[in-house]
Amino acid sequence: MLQFICEAAQAAESAAETAPGTAWYNSLVSIDPGTIVFTLINTLIIFLIFKFFLFKPVGKILDKRKELAASAIKDAEDAKAKAEAAEKEYNESLANAKAQADEIVKQATLRAQKREEEIVSEANQKAADIRAKAEENIERDKQRAINEVKDQISELVCMAAGKVVEKEISASDNEEIISKFLSEVGAAE
């Protein structure tokens, strides 16, 4: 390959020498094997300098950047997993809260129904007590009225008997007759 380059350089020199007015141009454009080797060595040195001072630090920076990106992606995935877990926990808590609220409403309804039944039962009991007292009062008033009527009847009977008999019956006989009359009147009712 070096031989090919040398032949090409000689062909270019001979063509440049034969062309009129290109003497100054020939010195600039000529291919010299020494220049080629010097250029190749310079390129190799620049490549090695770039490799050690540019490519390795840039590679390290890119590796660090890649690690940071991977770390950020992992952190984002962890945060996403935590957020999903928190959302799941929130949804479960919400479902539990709804279930508890339903249970509380159910319990409150049952307590209200039980209290309603107690109130109705108490009201019925009070009504029964009031009715029993009223019946008792009516019975007592009825008995009192009967006794008053008996007393009045006995007085009337005594007065009538006293006028009919007018002194023929003694006081003890009078009482006995009245008692008998009252007992007969009471039995007749």
Residue that is written with structure tokens 């008792």 in the block: 136
Q: Yes or no: say if 10 and 33 are a contact pair by the CB < 8 Å rule.
A: no
Stretches where the chain sits below pLDDT 70 are: 1-2, 6, 8-9, 11-29, 160-171, 185-189
**R_g over Cα of the chain:** 68
Q: Yes or no: say if 19 and 9 are a contact pair by the CB < 8 Å rule.
A: no
> Is the torsion defined by CA of 61, 65, 70, 74 positive or negative?
positive
What is the Cα–Cα distance from 80 to 82, expressed in whole angstroms?
A: 5
What is the Cα–Cα distance from 154 to 177, expressed in whole angstroms?
A: 10
Q: What single DSSP character describes residue 169?
A: S
pLDDT (0 to 100) of residue 113: 92
What is the Cα–Cα distance from 164 to 83, expressed in whole angstroms?
A: 117
b/e for 88-121, b at 16 or more Cβ within 10 A? eeeeeeeeeeeeeeeeeeeeeeeeeeeeeeeeee
Whole-model pTM? Answer: 0.36
pLDDT (0 to 100) of residue 146: 83
pLDDT (0 to 100) of residue 54: 84
